[in-house]
Structure 1
């Protein structure tokens, strides 16, 4: 992408959204909490928490977890616009040849893999499981241990070959970290460079996201320290290895607001492409929820809002935006458990701001 946005302004604490932001902040339980809002290019931040981060919290880089997926799919859309691939290419067309006992080529990754397209991976309709089978037992027995560390590209491709699809590709939605992780080797093959380099050159730098890095090898010196559910036990940035495209990015609140502002004013075609609805979920729990190429979409006054959340072993975050009012909310918390409430508080804040 080549489109960039003009520098935003930062509003003083008298901004009209501040009372709503402070009310949302009070709902969140974590050592460090930051809520960041952009409205028509004007940025506002509030922060708090039980820790000692103080006024510097909004300058830290937070683990984005699954919010990383939106950047990976944006890179996919950008390479598609550049003609390096198409969204409906078969997955196996962009993977290295793999030799089995019956030879190499078609079927080497299993019969289901040959029917999976890149669009299926991006929209979680590939049928692949959430994680590979060799990560399930460690996750159950040691839920606070990072099983992704040291997970190599070779293991990732072997996991695809061994995967048992839950359904035929394109027929149902099922969230899959494995599916998004597989976009890593796909993008490298099509883009002719390592994933981290492609992401920085084609996405992060054009959007002005100067504080965003892949961790932990390239983790920023100002990386926030996460915590377990007790709010006291520290959890440093984790190594996602071959799963970095699914959850390895760290970014500051200002980075995410720059990202949101680009999505609200999408000057590059790929930024528009990732907001186009692709499917509608019709389960009792998710009746009518729409999915774009990478975002969840819900109805709201004046037009839909789009959002995605993310979590690492010790942090949680949220980013949502409402194009009709040029409003976006980013939320961060350095604690990960069900009671942290950063996702619900941020989502509720975004809804409230659409009515201002």
Structure 2
């Protein structure tokens, strides 16, 4: 397995030196951000374009660690698939039974399975009802940090879902966070340790973590006016949005899904296959397809799987085409705003690139 920080495995093209480099340079002009990285892998050959309106810092942009926000969820999905393949949990295990055996809970909560939590079909809201009163006063600086793990678990165990699990899709940071705490309880291993042991280490993702790194190694998020944003504190919502990674590590993660270098633990291959399998449909005429953890769309070059995420001052996009081996990773240090083009630009690279 090639180490994600091994620059010999990466070609950072100057503008005009290859068709892919020119494509990335053109795409970058559509995005307004202090720091921007667009990275493409074709059959394991990487091309990376860096830029942005801010002056470059002492650490190259592609070696900085960026907050993934909701693009952390594919890591949670791969972890669940890995633990299921090992026989340590089952998709149909009931979360409440693993978190609090014997504790009385609402019948709908009792029926929520690990699969429901990950696929946003649990019936839980996007966030707990009591999340907002504590979050609003710190909405622009850190709304999640004041809501710790034990509070997330308590909110789940006293929840009153309005819909029966498995009957409706509703995106939920709450549900995926509960999944993280449930897997930690089921294995007796903290989430951060579990993720490292089962996903990050086997894939050689040495520049991926769930906490801020040493000074100078993390990208600094910016508000629209350019002022810096504090590093993300996800509180008890770690599994839903705490992953941080360099763009090069993001490519390594994506390459593993399209037949890249063999994982350090080949047993991970079963989980990598599982998370790319179409699982459910939703929306008008059931036009939207999902795998266990990825959104799936058709494209002229085959199906594409992707996930995007945003924090208070950063954005990330991850996507790949399983049939052609193309992978796209993009990061930016600018909060999402009306008219923002970041996701559309990265998605276009994934769906429109021959």
Normalising by the residue count of structure 1, what TM-score does the alignment of the two structures yield? 0.90
Alignment correspondent of 2:140: 144
Alignment pair present for 1:165 and 2:161:
yes
How far 1:191 moved relative to its partner?
A: 2.3
Alignment pair present for 1:278 and 2:305:
no
Structure 1 residues 110 and 32 mapped into 2: Cα distance closer, same or farther (>3 Å)? same
CA contact (8 A) 1:128 1:178 kept: yes
Alignment correspondent of 1:101: none
Alignment pair present for 1:265 and 2:259:
yes
- Comparing 119-128 and 334-343, the one that deviates more: 334-343
Alignment correspondent of 1:196: 192
Q: Secondary structure at the match of 2:236?
A: helix
Q: Distance in 1 between matches of 2:61 and 2:149?
A: 35
Q: Distance in 2 between matches of 1:337 and 1:165?
A: 30
Q: Deviations 1:257-284 (Å, cap 9, x if unpaired)?
A: 0001001117610011111111111238
Alignment correspondent of 1:222: 217
Alignment correspondent of 1:241: 235
Alignment correspondent of 1:327: 326
How far 1:337 moved relative to its partner?
A: 2.1
Alignment correspondent of 1:342: 342
Match of 2:115 among 107, 116, 119: 119
Alignment correspondent of 1:312: 311
Alignment correspondent of 1:62: 66
Q: Deviations 1:113-145 (Å, cap 9, x if unpaired)?
A: 101111001100001000011222455565313
Alignment correspondent of 2:97: 93
Alignment correspondent of 2:54: 51
Q: Distance in 1 between matches of 2:112 and 2:141?
A: 31
Q: Secondary structure at the match of 2:336?
A: coil
How far 1:220 moved relative to its partner?
A: 7.0
How far 1:313 moved relative to its partner?
A: 0.8
Structure 1 residues 37 and 147 mapped into 2: Cα distance closer, same or farther (>3 Å)? same
> Where does the alignment leave 5 or more consecutive residues of structure 2 unmatched?
261-265
Structure 1 residues 251 and 281 mapped into 2: Cα distance closer, same or farther (>3 Å)? same
Number of equivalences = 339
How far 1:342 moved relative to its partner?
A: 1.5
Alignment correspondent of 2:263: none
Q: Secondary structure at the match of 1:22?
A: helix
Q: Distance in 1 between matches of 2:150 and 2:105?
A: 12
- Comparing 234-243 and 144-153, the one that deviates more: 144-153
Normalising by the residue count of structure 2, what TM-score does the alignment of the two structures yield? 0.90
Q: Secondary structure at the match of 2:250?
A: helix
How far 1:151 moved relative to its partner?
A: 2.0
Alignment pair present for 1:81 and 2:85:
yes
Alpha-carbon RMSD: 2.0
Match of 1:28 among 13, 26, 31: 31
Q: Deviations 1:222-267 (Å, cap 9, x if unpaired)?
A: 010001122x110122111210100011100011000010011176
Alignment pair present for 1:303 and 2:302:
yes
Q: Distance in 1 between matches of 2:90 and 2:229?
A: 39
> Where does the alignment leave 5 or more consecutive residues of structure 1 unmatched?
98-104
- Comparing 344-353 and 254-263, the one that deviates more: 344-353
Q: Deviations 1:18-67 (Å, cap 9, x if unpaired)?
A: 12111111111111010011000001110111111267111100000011
Structure 1 residues 134 and 72 mapped into 2: Cα distance closer, same or farther (>3 Å)? same
